[in-house]
Structure 1
Amino acid sequence: MNSVDPVELLSNAPHDPRDPDPWVAMFLDSSLPMNPRAKASLLVDQRSRSRQFLLPLIRIFSRLSVILLQVLKTVVPNRFTSSKLLHRLLSWGMRTWVSPEANYLILRHFHVGSELLGFIARNTPELNVPVNPLLPTNMEHVKDEIFLKHDLNLYNFVIRLNRALRDQERTLAPPARLDFSGISDAFPLEPMPHRWTNFLDLQSAIELFTPLYQLFLTDRDFWRASNSLQLDETIAIYVATLLQAPGLVALVNNRHPLVPLATMEAGFRLVLHGLSAENLHGFLVECKHGRMPQLARVVSAGLQVTKPSGSQAA
């Protein structure tokens, strides 16, 4: 079964001035930098019937399950934990039930996150902070505990970066030459499954996966995964500091990492986490091509920009 290209679907949608399509309006709006296919996939996913009719019911079931599992975990802590089994279930669930647009956004997110951390590391070479890129191309790669590794990467990066700054008695500062060589225009993702069963939207899938997360991860792993979402603000501050563009932080919706939010809100916040990462990455892509006014301000301040010789293929 062939999937309709979400970009073409929204780009070629008819326009009735008496009944304008809000999803088309949001797709055509260019006020926020974002990859066109990622943006179209998100909007097509958001307007799906699954999100409209199933999500409200799934959210109730999910949050009740989280409460019950939290009580269970206090009685039998770590009894049923298995990260490997969890990721096998997630891989099967994505391949069998999740929509092509949602799967595309999920797999793309690991590439985006890896490139954001890589950009910071590449522009602070004196700190020698290691990174562990996660570059899945299909659902089989999910089985390699990729969600857990994603969370570990974030915390390990923040710890190593700031320990290096402390040990060298430095503060994060813009480099003499900005390096955008690790920022890609597109990622080499394989076609997503598109059977009749692949109908579940992104938010509904996340809400259903959240109780599985809590059941099969240790309480410490689940808490860390939930609150890693608020590191969006931290990563955005790092990038904004390197670019001397403080307005970047306004693109972030998950904030205040010092004050963790309830884990029951993790489903919605995870979608915001993905959107914030996409906007931040989209900004860097625009800067790489010299299309953002903030970049002109960086250059006028005396910094030089290193552009890659070419971009990766889609």
Structure 2
Amino acid sequence: MSRRSPFLRALEADDTLPIEREALTLWLDDMQRPTRWSLRPLLQLVLGALLHLTWFFKRLPLPQFRAHGLLQRLICWFCRHVVSPEANLLILRHYATESNVINFLIDNGAAGKVEPLALYPRRIEDMLTESFVDHDQELFRAFAELGERGQDSAPRPPEALRWDHWRPLDMAEFTVERRRTQVLDFESAHVLFMCLFCLLLTREEYRDAINGFNLDQSIALRIGRMIDDPSLAELAYNKYPHYLVGPWNLSQRFLMHGFFTEHLYARLEGLRRETTSA
């Protein structure tokens, strides 16, 4: 008998939205951690207020500072020792899903003209070099080089799509050492991380990072045109990138960005498999 509630069992069985079974299982398991329902609300209240104070401090006309190396080491330490194995695997998956989605845009819109993303960490230690900061900057770099219309985003038949730099996810390739101290759920971990990001990035780097989520709509529209599926835009929770926002509601926006990349990856991977088998 499943230990999940009736609603979570319904989610487990619902395949309306594209998402790989491995990602769904990791998410449902992580959501049932006690810290998600007990500790997270308190952390969000206290650290949410601290985040806005840090945001205000960083916006003052003072010399800017950043510490990317320290940020990476602190996050990786927390991931190794405190964050749940399920959450760590979801973080590692996110690098790969987003790199694949952007590489699909490049392969089919500007192959040979834009350098593809190479951020595919497989262990927590890899994230010391395949960094959280680079994850954002590589997205911005790819969009800037793709240009105003993504160079070539015209619809094309499935057999004409290119998958040159696509790397299908194999969960057996991901390695996360399990420790007894790894009890913190995904959302609580993000609440802890968000103040570190705000403090240890420059104000412009952090502002760009939290607004980069809104490129989800642009990605969905471009890929939707390529594969002739306008419904992809409905998968994007974060929209309207021309309107810059602050850290309000950041946790939910971050989480929905993660869901978006998982949904888009699953949709494209399904298309790739169908085309290959055909």
TM-score (ref. length: structure 2): 0.91
- How many positions carry a matched residue from both structures? 274
User: In the alignment, residue 147 of structure 2 is paired with which amino acid?
Assistant: N
Rounded Cα–Cα distance in structure 1 between residues aligned with 2:94 and 2:267: 15
Amino acid at match of 1:13: S
SS at match of 1:179: coil
Q: Are the counterparts in 1 of residues 52 and 247 from structure 2 also a CA contact under 8 Å?
A: no
Following superposition, the deviation at residue 223 of structure 1 comes to 0.6
Name 1:179's counterpart in structure 2.
Answer: 162
Q: Is the 8 A contact 2:96 2:169 kept in 1?
A: no
Give the whole-Å Cα distance in 1 for the aligned partners of 2:23 and 2:47: 26
> Residues 44, 187 of structure 1: CA spacing in aligned structure 2 closer, same or farther, 3 A cutoff?
closer
1:172 maps to amino acid: S
Give the C-alpha shift of residue 308 in structure 1: 8.3
CA apart distance, 1:42: 0.8
Is 1:212 matched with 2:201? no
Distance apart, 1:187 and its partner CA: 4.9
1:195 maps to what in 2? 179
Overall identity of the aligned pairs, in %: 28
- Identify the residue that residue 261 of structure 1 maps to in structure 2: 245
Q: How does 1:217-296 map to 2 (within 5 A)?
A: 217-290=201-274
Report the Cα distance in structure 1 between the residues aligned to 2:17 and 2:55, rounded to whole angstroms: 38
Q: CA deviation at 1:36?
A: 0.6
Offset from partner CA, 1:52-111 (integer Å, 9 cap, x none): 0011001012211112212332264424x2011101100001111000110000011001
How far the C-alpha of 1:25 sits from its partner, in A, is: 1.4
Matched, 1:123 2:112: no
Q: SS of the counterpart of 1:13?
A: coil
TM-score between both structures, scaled by the size of structure 1: 0.81
Pairing partner for 2:54 from 69, 72, 75: 69
Tell me by how many angstroms 1:188 deviates: 5.2
The unaligned stretches of length 5 or more in structure 1 are: 1-11, 291-304, 310-314
Distance 1:308 1:160, change over 3 A: farther
Q: 1:14 to 1:188 in 2, by over 3 A?
A: closer
Q: Which runs of 5+ in 2 are unaligned?
A: none
Residue of 79, 86, 97 corresponding to 2:82: 97
Within a 5 Å distance, the mapping from 1:4-83 to structure 2 comes to 13=2, 21-73=6-58, 74=60, 76-79=62-65, 81-83=66-68
Amino acid paired to 1:178: L
Q: 1:110 aligns with which of 95, 117, 122?
A: 95
**Equivalents in 2 of 1:194, 1:183: separation in Å?**
26
Number of the residue aligned with 1:142: 127
Runs of at least 4 residues off by over 4 Å: none
Partners of 1:189 and 1:257 in 2: CA distance: 34
* Structure showing greater Rg: 1
Q: CA 1:75 to 1:93, structure 2 compared with 1: closer, same or farther past 3 Å?
A: farther
Pick closer, same or farther for the CA change 1:126–1:279 going to 2, 3 Å: closer
Give the partner amino acid of 1:280.
Answer: L
Shift of 1:254: 1.1
